[in-house]
Amino acid sequence: MALTGPGLEMRLSLKFVRVVTLAGWVGAIVYFAAVVTEGAFAVLPSQDEAGLLVGFTLGGLHVMGLVSAAIFVIASLALAKGLRAFSRSSVAGVILMGLLTMVSQYHVMPRMARLRSQMGSVDRTPRSDPRRAEFDRLHRVSVDIEGAVLLIGLIALFLTLREDRPRAEG
């Protein structure tokens, strides 16, 4: 029996919310990587200032991503009418994206900030300095995490669109 009326409208609205929040998050990651980071290092007078701007905007991206993950999961729970939403690959992917984002935001970035503060200037600190070596290692971890979040996000978006497509009546 086909769902009609307010029930159908609610399901369509929840599907729309899932796609918009996830696509917005993925799009923001692409914009951050392609425009914000490139622009900061191209136009600001020092690498240190560019790094501060990138770190600040990355923190905002993380908050946006965590809010998006929460909205996506809540909408998925409402669509599935319960916990079986967690069996969906798209939901598992978004939860993984959120966990990776939390690792970056609450573990990697604070450690990088402490090292940046200790060095005064990352750019003027020799690469042989253990603090700089650790900063550079954490930077690579941060980049890898963001890349993984983007890749998982693209896959989760594909899966979401596939899950939400209209079914042929048989």
Residue 2 lies in a domain: no
Residue 169 lies in a domain: no
Q: What is the count of structural domains for the chain?
A: 1
Tokens of 105: 């935001």
Tell me, what's the pLDDT at 163?
A: 84
- Whole-model pTM: value is 0.90
- From the first residue on, what is the mean pLDDT of each consecutive set of 10 residues in the chain (170 residues)? 70 94 98 96 95 96 98 94 83 97 98 96 96 97 98 97 69
Residue 112 lies in a domain: yes
Which DSSP category does 103 fall into?
H
Q: Kindly provide the b/e burial profile for residues 125-155, where b requires at least 16 CB atoms within 10 angstroms of the residue's own CB.
A: beeeeeebeebeebbebbeebbeebbebbbe
Expressed as residue numbers, the domain containing 127 is 11-164
Residue 5 lies in a domain: no
Residue 109 lies in a domain: yes
Element (DSSP H or E) covering residue 95:
helix 89-103
Tell me, what's the pLDDT at 8?
A: 85
What is the rounded distance in angstroms from the CA atom of residue 10 to the CA atom of residue 169? 20
Residue 54 lies in a domain: yes
Residue 1 lies in a domain: no
Residue 3 lies in a domain: no
